[in-house]
Amino acid sequence: MRIREKRRRADLAALFFLLIFTVGAVAATAVIVATRGGAATVELGPGASNLNPAERVVLSAYLSARADRLIAPAGNDPTPISFSVLSGEAASEVAERLVTQGLVSEAQLLNFYLRYKGLDAHIAAGDFILRQTMTIPEVASALTDASAREMSLRITEGWRLEQIAEALSTNPNLRISASDFLALAGPSGPRTGGHPFLSDIPAGASLEGFLFPDTYLVRPGSSAADFLNKMLTNFDARLPAGYRAAVTGRGLTLYQAIIVASLIEREAVLDDERPLIASVILNRLTIGQPLEIDATVQYALGAPGDWWPSVVGLDYRSITSPYNTYYVTSLPTGPIANPGAASIAAVANAAQTNYLYYRARCDGTRSHSFAATYEEHLANACP
């Protein structure tokens, strides 16, 4: 007999003799167990079919006497916590680590709940997202229900629509095809979900720019529509209060503001420079000076395998694209990427400057030099 099996049986035997004197066999018939004060209930049910009569009595009595603890979360912090079950790891070992990470308050209570429900043999290796606010039954369910697992998926600021589609389709834990996602988020996709900003997107435009970059928790069975709605909901939630009014005061519609934010996202590296780059773009728009942003040429030329190609040495004005700001004299026809919160906020909070130019410094800091005149701009060139 394996050591773990011997230990489990010894624990159950000791528990049986303790409980037989305190609660009696009547607990074996308990189905709905009220917690203290009657505020909530725990549905134990009849127990797993493979339990022998002694185990059924002991476990039911033990869990009945601790019903309030079953629904008491280990903490009140709802922050998602990554938890991995290792291959071959016993349920008791998993329970101990859950206690160590503050996700469960009592390892033994979780062990006995798993055994009573017949779930101890169904904990599979894998990555899970748990929270301190989960009860023991909820933790047990999450660890044994593959369809309920959540994985962490990072969508990076400045990615274009196609890059997001590729990230979804190449994730081995998801079954979302790039074509399905692009069909929904592309120019001909349905605009459902009730998100108020969708009415600001011109007919025939894609959702580029409105797919909010963030770390998302995704279930393996999620569809392309599920994930798209999660991103749009996040955009709606993260748009600053009063944002529409703020950008309107700068002469921009919401859609135009997101276009500007996407340009900032691809041009800026340092957060404190985003309002300065925003000022350059807005200043140029005000006087009708072409934006001449290299990232718009990259967007126009991007293709699978190289979505942001080098454009050094090209004749930018020869690339006839409505996204190329060397070719068009105003904003590109739509966003060129999906901007993060800092770039979106920078449009509304653009610095008050007379700058019309910026260029990368040659000191390795990834910062920029700004200039109000073309002569100053030339003087900022690298030696």
Is there a single domain that holds both residue 264 and residue 211? no
Is there a single domain that holds both residue 226 and residue 146? no
| pLDDT for 364 | 87
Is there a single domain that holds both residue 302 and residue 175? no
Distance CA 301, CA 147 (A): 40
Residue-wise pLDDT for 181-191, tens only, equals 999 999 989 98
| pLDDT for 24 | 44
Is there a single domain that holds both residue 143 and residue 160? no
Is there a single domain that holds both residue 87 and residue 51? no
Is there a single domain that holds both residue 228 and residue 341? no
- Which one-letter amino acid corresponds to residue 104? V
Distances (CA, A) of 94 to 2, 88, 101, 108, 151: 18, 10, 11, 11, 18
| pLDDT for 315 | 92
Q: What is the average pLDDT value for the chain, to the nearest integer?
A: 87
Count of domains forming the chain: 4
115 within domain boundaries? no
Name 360's bridge partners.
Answer: 368
76 within domain boundaries? no
Residue-wise pLDDT for 331-369, tens only, equals 999 999 999 999 999 999 999 999 999 999 998 899 999
Is there a single domain that holds both residue 232 and residue 256? no
| pLDDT for 145 | 73
Phi then psi for residue 357, to 5 deg, are -140, 155
61 within domain boundaries? yes
112 within domain boundaries? no
* Domain boundary pick from 193, 212, 238: 238
Distance CA 178, CA 165 (A): 5
Distance CA 313, CA 329 (A): 21
Name 371's bridge partners.
Answer: 357
Cα distance between the two ends of the chain: 77
Distance CA 335, CA 164 (A): 15
Give the residue numbers spanning the domain of 137: 81-106+120-151
Distance CA 257, CA 345 (A): 10
| pLDDT for 12 | 56
* Domain boundary pick from 184, 209, 238: 238
- Best CA proximity match to 171, nearest among 130, 227, 88, 123: 227
Is there a single domain that holds both residue 287 and residue 366? yes
Is there a single domain that holds both residue 314 and residue 374? yes
| pLDDT for 7 | 53
Is there a single domain that holds both residue 186 and residue 89? no
User: Taking the model in full, what pTM does it have?
Assistant: 0.69
Low-confidence residues of the chain, pLDDT below 70?
1-42, 146-149
- Best CA proximity match to 221, nearest among 153, 147, 167, 150: 147
| pLDDT for 46 | 81
Beta carbons within 10 angstroms of residue 327's beta carbon: 19
246 burial class (0-12, 13-18, 19+ CB within 10 angstroms)? middle
